[in-house]
Amino acid sequence: MRCAHCGRPDETRVLSTHHVSEGWVRYRRCACGRVSVELVTLDEGLTPHRETVRAAA
């Protein structure tokens, strides 16, 4: 998951994780301070898929 702000590859730190009906929502903070929200879902083979659902300013 590359930071949309500074472009760093996956240097984000997980702030918190919440279980939701679709899977888990994770709040991440990059080294540059940008917070993003990602949704983690599992497919039928239990493979996790991550997508950024919202990026806070």
| Interface with Zn ion (CB under 5 A) | 3, 5-6, 8, 30, 32, 34
CA distance 15 to 26: 7
Nearer to Zn ion, 34 or 50 (CB): 34
At closest approach, how far in Å is the CB of 6 from Zn ion? Answer: 3
Nearer to Zn ion, 33 or 45 (CB): 33
Nearer to Zn ion, 5 or 50 (CB): 5
Specify the long-range contacts of residues 46-55, CB closer than 8 Å, at least 24 apart. 50/1, 50/26, 52/1, 52/4, 53/25, 55/4, 55/5
